[in-house]
Amino acid sequence: RQGLAAGLNGLLGRAHDAPLAPPADPDPLPEPLEAAALVEALASANPEVQVAANGIDLARAERERTYQDRLPDFAVGVTNNRPDEGKSSWDVMFEVMIPLQQSSRRAREREAEYLLMAAEARREDARARASGELGGAASMYAR
């Protein structure tokens, strides 16, 4: 004990036999936290879970866009055309796109559904990994 006190005094730049103050009582440990509250806080604050949740939003938007391709689409355009400094003219365009290839459309819809399911699985995987890390940290804290 005297050797440790002398070493500590040396680190503090004091004489080797200077008296040290007695150690103070440590602060009490905080109250144990509820596991459900920790898991909920983890799900809302973990970046991996947030990235996976954003992936779900993106997959849902892509699925909705794919379902909108079922309906016919049209476009109307008007341009002022003046080729090679010649006489100017107006061009009017009307375009209709009719989805005729049903098999490719259905394949795109299935793909969008599978992408959504994969995004949801990635979110659940991120939650499970984060929950496992939280459980490991909580068990280390409880020791």
pLDDT tens digits along 101-139? 889 999 999 999 999 999 999 999 999 999 888 888 888
CB contact burial 60-88 (16+ within 10 A = b; e otherwise) = eebbeebeeeeeeeeeeeeeeeeeeeeee
- pLDDT for position 137: 83
**Which two structure tokens, joined as six digits, stand for 11?**
């680190």
The backbone torsions φ and ψ at residue 6, rounded to the nearest 5 degrees and listed phi first, read -65, -40
Between 2 and 111, where is the model more confident?
A: 111
Residue whose C-alpha is closest to residue 59's, from 107, 120, 106, 105: 120
3-state secondary structure of 8: helix
Residue 56: which residues within 8 A CB-CB, separation 6 or more?
116, 119, 120, 123
E strand residue ranges, 15-115: 73-81, 89-97
Between 42 and 109, where is the model more confident?
A: 109
Rounded distance, CA 50 to CA 58, Å? 12
User: Average pLDDT of the chain?
Assistant: 89
Classify the C-alpha dihedral 86-87-88-92 as positive or negative. Answer: negative
Instruction: Answer yes or no: is pLDDT of 16 > 80.
Output: yes
- pLDDT for position 143: 65
Q: Over range 10-20, report the average pLDDT.
A: 89
Residue 22: which residues within 8 A CB-CB, separation 6 or more?
none
Query: How many residues are there in the chain?
Result: 143
- Global pTM reads 0.62
- pLDDT for position 119: 97
Helix axes 35-45, 102-142, angle to 10 degrees: 130
